[in-house]
Structure 1
Amino acid sequence: MTWGTPPLSGYRPRVIDAELDVLLPGLPAIALEGAKGVGKTETARKRAGSVHLLDDEQQLEVARADIDRLLATEPPVLIDEWQRLPPVWDAVRRAVDADASPSRFLLTGSASPRTPQTHSGAGRIVQLRMRPLTLSERGMSPSVSVAALMSGARPVIEGSTEIGLDDYVTEILAGGFPALRGLPDRALRAQLDGYLARIVDHDFPEMGQPVRRPDTLRRWMEAYAAATSTTAAYEAIRDAATGGQGDKPAKTTTEPYREVLERLWILDPVPAWTPSRNHLRRLAQAPKHQLADPALAARLLGVGPESLLSGRSSGPVVPRDGTLLGALFESLVGLSLRVYAQAAEAKVRHLRTKAGEREVDFILLRDDSRVVAVEVKLSATVSEDDVRHLLWLRDQLDDELLDAAVVTTGREAYRRPDGIAVIPAALLGP
């Protein structure tokens, strides 16, 4: 069976829908944030009483002339791409101060503007991150719930799938942007190229950061893509952007790149886990590098299914354990995990000791500091070596470790005799 990338016909429910259904009836204002094209507008439209699209120049001009009139339309008032007119944020905040009735405002934003006049919105506007489509949102049928793993109940792990390695490669390259699903290969590549070009040519200037040397920014983005799923130092990424040769971009040049790309939600690094309790010492604090969607990384590096499956290197050289395919598969799993964890009111971190002798790919962290540990393996089978870091962490944490799992490319979900869950990526869901 070949999975392929079926087109989305009509609106396909998202994991975040359930969060909005719970939160909107009790909150006056919610902001959906995430990279362009992840589906924020369509999800918000499902709940809106009135819609204002600020990426439309005419509607933007009307909003500039009279923000208060815009806010007085039928609630919930959806203000799409609000960052095009940053005063909207403070106007909504003031409106909520005057009337905190629930379900008044929905904001969607593809960038986080840096304006000193903008208040944080704390206590008035609740911010929710929206990411590209998870594997379950793409139509795969999960049988293992992240929420159940995080409950501490040690659920039964079962289920089977026909999804295999070739299908995961297809999904890495196809991406999770709803409008691009089902496109022919060449059209998909052209759309992803256009998406990346727009970041350089349009989004950076719109964020107040014109790019004097577009080729330098593009090379830095390629080097960052090559660092996917690693904790490579930013100095190593700068070196990789020029192949270690001369004319390396200055730190004062690349730091704004990173800042703007994070504000555009294009970079989505996984923070390091720094537990408040003193069970673990000497943990590294560098983030693990990820782009918003592994398809962007694959396109920046110019890789296709043949090069990924052959294990050939491509693009700038950044130190990495394992293959590029393994790194991109981890990124794909991480994308889904972060969406599922958010729905379960949990954060996602990674663990790496300073010397690198111990690593766990993802730590799912509850508010009470109890965790689920997840390793990702580009393999259909799980060996003793694959679980050794999970078993080590269980010894360190005891009952603070709610559960531990290895996510694989295999076909069957089960629990090993040592208690570690083995879960095919296609079978993992919210």
Structure 2
Amino acid sequence: MTYQRRIVDDILDELFPHLDAVALEGAKAVGKTETARQRARTVLALDDELTRESVSMRPRTIRELETPVLIDEWQLVPSTWDSVRRAVDDGAAGEGFLLAGSAEAPSAARIHTGAGRIVSLRMRPLSFAERGLEIPVVSLRALLGRTAGETDGRSSVELEDYAREIIVSGFPGLRGLPPRARRIQLESYIERIVARELPENGMNVRKPASIRSWLAAYGAATATTASYSGILDAATPAEQDKPSRITVGHYRDYLTRVFVLEPLEAWTPALTPLKRLTQAPKHHLVDPSLAAHLVGIEEAGLLTGEGGRAGAGAGLWLGALFESLVTQAVRVYADSAEARVYHLRTKSTEREIDLIVEGHDRSVVAIEVKLAGTVGDTDVRHLHWLESQIGDRLAAKVVVTTGPVAYQREDGVHVVPLSLLGP
């Protein structure tokens, strides 16, 4: 099959010639191995038992191979991280090593054996722009740099298409499957995480069913700041002997370590007058299809308003999953632009902005997400409030919609269908 170029390829084109080692990190099935293979001359696949045993017994092997060397699933032999670091210390040239893994390096490894030597890049499922439904006409990088120009364009993508994209997922290998096969693969994905990935990363899984129930409750809380106690109650409504807070904390930590959970941190801007902001993260899984599958909902159910949220009243759950789809895409685009993504909410909940994109120069793009094609004055009031608080730091005010048209309002707000937003 022809390789589908990813947005992270642009980052690698720019950086890899000047870096000795790059770790591509991300959840299973997001495409790390295929992306890394495009640049590697030698591949060590550590999920192969014989290769894993050979590298474990003779770690110097990696220093004797033709570069660039791809070490796939490096976390299965954690000592390879240190072996790469030593090779870099001994004078490995740029484009020496690529490490692909579906678990974070232990903090000790990052601090003591990799810092400044192995640069980590995150890969996520396909962003909306990478799915090829439309050609984006509005660049997040340009919005951050105040060079976006006129916002104008039309999209043929409709609400039903967004619902379908949530269900078919951004995992490249799942998108072409018929519905039943896709559901089986998603279920297998979840079972593999619980039964294999977590134990391989040090978690003692005594009650797999409890972890799955907790994951389903977490998925139902997508795009909310529901308390973890509320999520636990939703996961175990009839159980008296609930998991302890420490146990639930372990669920959260390990599922984050293998990139299945992708909580969106709250924005705490430096050197600004903003006060009384909440610190609670918004809950997101690595792909909204996992949330939909765990809850047991398909495209038709999303469009008729099925689903619910832990810790919140009944509502159109499609809106929460659409926000998660937008968040996933914006994170990919932000990585390309050297920016980070947060959310903003005051403790009184009087002010809330779905996404805050902060560039390396502290410029900000504020984004509201709306499951509709029209935008009224009430939809942009928090964007204007933020502008009154941070002034010129705010490079652009944006509302991402499911509508057919990209345009700029008289008050300066960019209205952009998700399908027309890109890196």
Equivalent of 1:216 in 196, 203, 210: 210
- Aligned runs of 1:398-413 on 2, under 5 Å? 398-413=391-406
Contact conserved, 1:26 with 1:103, CA < 8 A, in 2? yes
Amino acid at match of 2:121: L
Aligned counterpart, 2:375 = 382
Three-state SS of the structure 1 residue aligned to 2:405 is coil
Aligned counterpart, 2:146 = 152
Aligned counterpart, 1:354 = 347
Structure 1 position 322, deviation (Å) = 4.3
For residues 244 and 156 of structure 1, do their structure 2 counterparts lie closer, same or farther at Cα, with a shift above 3 Å needed?
Answer: farther
For residues 174 and 364 of structure 1, do their structure 2 counterparts lie closer, same or farther at Cα, with a shift above 3 Å needed?
Answer: same
Range that drifts further, 145-154 or 392-401:
145-154
Post-superposition Cα deviations, 1:63-94, rounded to whole Å, max 9, x if no partner, equal 11211122320111100000000000011111
Equivalent of 1:18 in 10, 26, 40: 10
Equivalent of 1:311 in 297, 305, 327: 305
Aligned counterpart, 1:337 = 330
Range that drifts further, 344-353 or 145-154:
145-154
Aligned counterpart, 2:124 = 131
Work out the CA distance in 1 between the residues paired with 2:346 and 2:95.
45
Aligned structure 1 segments of 4 or more residues deviating by more than 4 angstroms = 115-118
Contact conserved, 1:377 with 1:407, CA < 8 A, in 2? yes
For residues 352 and 109 of structure 1, do their structure 2 counterparts lie closer, same or farther at Cα, with a shift above 3 Å needed?
Answer: same
Aligned counterpart, 2:267 = 273
Structure 1 position 181, deviation (Å) = 1.4
Work out the CA distance in 2 between the residues paired with 1:320 and 1:48.
50
Contact conserved, 2:26 with 2:103, CA < 8 A, in 1? yes
Range that drifts further, 155-164 or 321-330:
321-330
Aligned counterpart, 1:36 = 28
Post-superposition Cα deviations, 1:329-387, rounded to whole Å, max 9, x if no partner, equal 00001111000000000000110001111110100001222200001000011111111
Contact conserved, 1:154 with 1:403, CA < 8 A, in 2? no
Work out the CA distance in 2 between the residues paired with 1:259 and 1:116.
16
Equivalent of 1:230 in 203, 218, 224: 224
- 1:77 matched to 2:69: yes
Work out the CA distance in 2 between the residues paired with 1:126 and 1:113.
11
- 1:104 matched to 2:96: yes
Aligned counterpart, 2:412 = 419
Contact conserved, 1:241 with 1:248, CA < 8 A, in 2? no
Three-state SS of the structure 1 residue aligned to 2:286 is coil
Structure 1 position 135, deviation (Å) = 0.9
Aligned counterpart, 1:292 = 286
Work out the CA distance in 1 between the residues paired with 2:80 and 2:326.
35
Overall identity of the aligned pairs, in %: 52
Three-state SS of the structure 1 residue aligned to 2:50 is helix
Post-superposition Cα deviations, 1:152-176, rounded to whole Å, max 9, x if no partner, equal 2352111111100000000000101
Q: Which runs of 5+ in 2 are unaligned?
A: none
Work out the CA distance in 2 between the residues paired with 1:290 and 1:423.
22
Range that drifts further, 402-411 or 114-123:
114-123
For residues 361 and 244 of structure 1, do their structure 2 counterparts lie closer, same or farther at Cα, with a shift above 3 Å needed?
Answer: farther
Amino acid at match of 1:422: V
Work out the CA distance in 1 between the residues paired with 2:241 and 2:233.
10
Q: Which runs of 5+ in 1 are unaligned?
A: 1-8
Work out the CA distance in 1 between the residues paired with 2:148 and 2:8.
25
Structure 1 position 232, deviation (Å) = 1.1
Structure 1 position 147, deviation (Å) = 0.8
Equivalent of 2:165 in 171, 189, 200: 171
Three-state SS of the structure 1 residue aligned to 2:131 is coil
- 1:370 matched to 2:375: no
Aligned counterpart, 2:81 = 89
Aligned counterpart, 1:5 = none
Aligned length: 421
Structure 1 position 245, deviation (Å) = 5.5
Aligned counterpart, 1:3 = none
Work out the CA distance in 1 between the residues paired with 2:365 and 2:149.
13
Work out the CA distance in 2 between the residues paired with 1:306 and 1:69.
53
Equivalent of 2:256 in 246, 262, 265: 262
Structure 1 position 243, deviation (Å) = 2.5
Amino acid at match of 1:65: M
Amino acid at match of 1:206: E
Work out the CA distance in 2 between the residues paired with 1:339 and 1:348.
10
Structure 1 position 278, deviation (Å) = 2.7
Alignment RMSD (CA, Å): 1.5
Contact conserved, 1:133 with 1:178, CA < 8 A, in 2? yes
Structure 1 position 239, deviation (Å) = 1.4
Equivalent of 1:247 in 226, 231, 241: 241
